[in-house]
Structures are given as C-alpha cells and as structure tokens.
Amino acid sequence: MSTKASRLKALENELAGCSKDLKVQVKRCGLLRKRTLNATDLRAMAETKLSSISPPKFRSFFPANLRGHCFLAADGSRGGVATTSDDSQLALLSADIRSFSVTTTLTATLSDLTFTLTNVYAPSDHQQTPAFLDELKEIAEIFNLAIHGLSLLELPLLDRLFTWSNKREIPTLACLDRVFFNSHLDSVVPNTTLTSLPHATSDHTPLLITIDTSIPKTRCFRFENAWLHDPSFLPAVELVWHAITNNAGGPAGMLAARLKDTHRVAKKWSKHKHTPLLINNCKFIIRLLDLLEEHRRLCAGEATLRSLCQEKLLQLLKARAAYWKQRGKFRAVKEGDENTRFHHAHASQQLRKNHIKALEVQGLRFTGHVDKEQILSDHFTSLLGSPAATSWDFDIHGIYRDLPRVDSLPLVTPFTVSEARAAIRDMNPISAPGPDGFGPRFYRSA
C-alpha cells in the first residue's frame, strides 16, 4: 500500500477508537472522505491568445481554486496553451514546456492516482509546420506506445459528432478533441461520461468529463446468469416452481404464476447472497496458507480449508465473469476469469454509449432524471397515441380467392415438448430477457 493510502487508512482506524462527537464532526466536514476528481480540479485551455499571463489576468477567467498552472505564450493573436489545476487536490510532479505543447504530470494528494496530460496547439505560420510535425511525431510515438501498453479506451462524446469547425459558409467539421482512459480508471469510475459545453469564442468545443463511481440500477427484475454458478440457487427456486401444479388460467396461467413466484424467491435469494468481499477473503486465506506451507506442513483442517477456498474462489470467478459477459454482450470470447476485466470494460463502454445525458425540447435543455423520464413518456405517447377504430377498405377473402390453398394444420398444431426444448437450446444464452425478466439461460438450465 502506498504512503498516501496507508496514512489515510491509519487515520480511519484511529478514528474508530475516538468519541462519537468527533466522528460526527469529521464525517460532516468530510476530512477523511475519499474524494473523486471533478471538473473544477483541472482545466486545459488551448488558443488563449495571450503572450503572457499575470496573476490578475489568470484569476479573471479561471476558478479561484485553480492556482498552479503551466503556460505557453501565444504567437501574436494566435495559439497559446494553459494547463491549470487545484494544487490542494493535484500536485505537479513535472512540466515539459516545448515550442508547441505543454506536458504536465500530476498526482492526486489523497489517492494513488498519477497521470500525464499533454496540451498541443499547431502553429499559425506554415513555415513552422516541419518543426511542429517533428515535435508532434515524438509526442505521438510516446502517445501510441502508451495507448498500446495501457490498452486505452476512448470515452465516447454523447451529444455531438464534431468538436471543431472553421466557421465558414461551407464549414469543415472534424473531431479533433478526444479523451482516452485505461481499464483501471474504467473499473474505478465506470459511469464516467463526456459531453460538450457551449463555445463563445474558440472554434474548438469545450469538453466536460463527468466522473461518477455509481452505476444506475433498474428497478425492474432481471435474471442474472451469474446466479446459476451458485449450487444453492436452482434448489431454492425448484421448490417454488413445482409447488404450483394447477391454475385456473390453464398452462399459460400456471407458467405465469410459476414465474411470478420464482421472481420473488430469486430476488430474496440474491439479497442474502450478495457478498462482494468474499473473493478477497478466499484469496487472502489461500495466500496465507500457501505461506505457512513453505515453513511447515499443513494440518488436515488447514488443507481442507484451502481446498474449500479454492473451489469457492473458482465458482465466484466464474460467476463474476458471467455477470460482466451478460452486460458486455460480446460473444467472441468464452467466460473465464482472464476475460472478466475485458467484459467489465466492454459493458461500461456500452453503458456510456447508451447514456442520455440531456434532452432538448423547444430550446430548453433538461438533465434531471424525472424531467427526461416525463419527456420520453410524452414523446412516445404522442407517437403511439390511443387506439382508434379501424376500417377495412378491401375484401381480404377476395384477395386470396384464386390462390391455391395450403394445409394449415401444421400451423395450428400444438407445440411438442421436443420442439420447445429445441427452440430454447437454439437461443443465444446471453440474449436480452423478456418482459418477465428471465432470459434464455434460465430456461436452458431449468
């Protein structure tokens, strides 16, 4: 554990033995809160058009909390680059100011996060283009190596297709501004989104990164394929499934009643089985017993405990891989612990692409969840409308009167059990569930 994290953890442990009043005050002030970076902690500005930047000028267009900055002067009225940060949250480790770029390496003061930001602006004089390309080539080589080595993902821009325009009558549009992040950041802040801000003077569109650690959860029931990897799940729901043997609604009514009761039992079962720290516990016990085995022989109880932990760990890893594969919707790889991080990243990327950041109605922009829900409901209600009386302006029997008749008996013959089973086996096991919340994997296992 790093020095920063260990010191914060030591303070948290020490606070546990303090008085209740002190705990309340520390929590109210957020002194030990693990703070997440937000949009006001870091700003990167291109085309400042400033040859120098004095403290009053700096404070006039940057927030008061941003005090540390690195500055590259403009060439006349063109160009200029400034990178500024809140030094209470981000400490500057190094700064590399070149002819056309500013590269800063920053580290968070309350976490282990360290990253490098490069701010580049091309010269306005075409005679400087070769020198700019040489500098850009060196940066690009480092950048491409970093992307390849870190397996970086691009954060999709949700509300527009282009970030730059030359503002001509026939405009040239391009997406010049992009944001990348690695798999570790994707797992720490999976609900990160990228949106645009209005631009008044620059021809570049300002981008706003919203960092959030929470994943929205639907209130609707959705069957999790990961539950099938727990040996206690199927026995728990089989009792309820077979308890209903008759229903006034016939076979369809009995199936609906069984699914309803299974839904209730599955939700109750999942609440008691939610143990997110169990994987870490199993790994810790296995490593501890492996260490003891290097110095002495394990007794029968210790060997049995390690064997049970290994079996449980394998089951939990398979369940976690199934959980993320169901959300990732990527079918080219099989389930397995080696693919879990890939499924996690793929699912988070899909979540960002499907995220509706804002809706605009009659020139007004709405970002609240309740407002967006009402707008979408009103929109689809107006599209679908209410049922109206329909009239047939043709004779349907006259259309098919002269055509040869076919035997319709196979179309109305009841389905056999073998046909139903074959249809279930042919379905994709990770397809989206139906209105009842149960997907093909549940029916195949049942």
Q: Is 55 in the same domain as 159?
A: yes
The predicted model scores a pTM of 0.40
Instruction: Give the per-residue pLDDT at 37.
Output: 42
With bands split at pLDDT 50, 70 and 90, how would you rate the model's confidence at 341? low
115 with 203, same domain: the answer is yes
CA 339, CA 322: separation in Å to the nearest integer? 10
At residue 330, the pLDDT reads: 58
Query: How large is the average pLDDT for residues 352-372?
Result: 78
**pLDDT tens digits for range 126-142:** 788 888 888 888 887 87
Poorest-pLDDT segment among 154-163, 176-185, 225-234: 176-185
What pLDDT, on the 0 to 100 scale, is given for residue 429? Answer: 75
Mean pLDDT of the chain: 76
| Residues 162 and 257 grouped into a single domain | no
pLDDT digit string, tens, across residues 197-227:
777 667 788 888 877 655 556 667 777 888 8
Question: In this model, does residue 31 exceed pLDDT 60?
Answer: no
Domain that holds residue 277: 225-355
pLDDT higher than 70, residue 364: yes
- Is residue 95 within 8 Å of 104, Cβ to Cβ? yes
d(CA 203, CA 300): 72
Q: Does 435 map to a domain?
A: no
> In this structure, are 53 and 202 located in the same domain?
yes
Verify that 299 and 193 share a domain, yes or no: no
Six-digit token string for 149 = 């080595």
pLDDT, average across residues 307-328: 80
What's the pLDDT at 144? 78
Q: Which whole number is the average pLDDT over 149-178?
A: 81
pLDDT for 42-78, tens place per residue?
777 777 778 787 777 777 777 777 777 788 887 777 7
Instruction: Say yes or no: 81 and 183 in one domain.
Output: yes
In this predicted structure, what is the pLDDT of residue 220? Answer: 75
What pLDDT sits at residue 36?
Answer: 42
pLDDT at position 111 over 70: no
200 with 78, same domain?
Answer: yes
- 260 belongs to a structural domain: yes
Q: Are residues 82 and 22 in the same domain?
A: no
Q: What is the pLDDT of residue 231?
A: 81
